[in-house]
Structure 1
Amino acid sequence: MPQKIDSQMLKGVLTGSILLLLSEEELYGYRLNERLASFGFDAISKGTIYPLLLSLEKKKFIAGHMRASENGPKRKYYSITPEGIIEKENFLKQWNELQKNMQRIIEGVEENGKN
């Protein structure tokens, strides 16, 4: 069983992930959760996703609008805004830098452990 990821770490990664997915297509909450699960984030509860969507909407990074559904009630679809695109690009820059730094640390520790 995979180890549970720290909620603060996960929140930042999910925020960037949501922006990335919404830059590809408009999604409603449940479908967004399914898309995240398809990339391995299958233990994310709806109680985590919807507050993040609300926060992103308040920050004007995404916009939501109600749309009729073919089978059931209306759904709120989310799309990325121009501000959200800038935030997505900032996230990618920060993620790439963080990933490089962590990789250097991991390689350094592993190299030192071999001595």
Structure 2
Amino acid sequence: MDKVFEEKMKDSLLAMKEELVRSLISESEDFEALVRDMDPKDLVDVAADDIDRKTLEALNAQEVKRIRLIDSALSRLKNGRYGLCMRCGKKIPTERLEAIPYALMCIECKSSDERRSR
């Protein structure tokens, strides 16, 4: 894999990570405000607040997972393993990496993995 492409992917990964961290901080502040502003209310309002809280927590969990994937991709860039499928070791097409810079597997292995998960 050429150095120009690797540098482009590194910049893209770092930008994605920065955006996710900012989003988590923003959502965390929104979450804290939501909890802080809760008063004793009727059951419908309490249930709605609980749903809002659970939605924020689920979003945060997905964003944290994406940050871990980005960190893993950055680590693979450093050790020369970026762009290689974690399962079969073949090169991941550059088009896939441009679409999903933190991709762990080639399309064939990912498809196989998803079929097994069903």
Q: Normalized against structure 2, the TM-score is what?
A: 0.33
TM-score (norm 1): 0.34
Higher strand share: 1
Structure with greater helix share of residues: 2
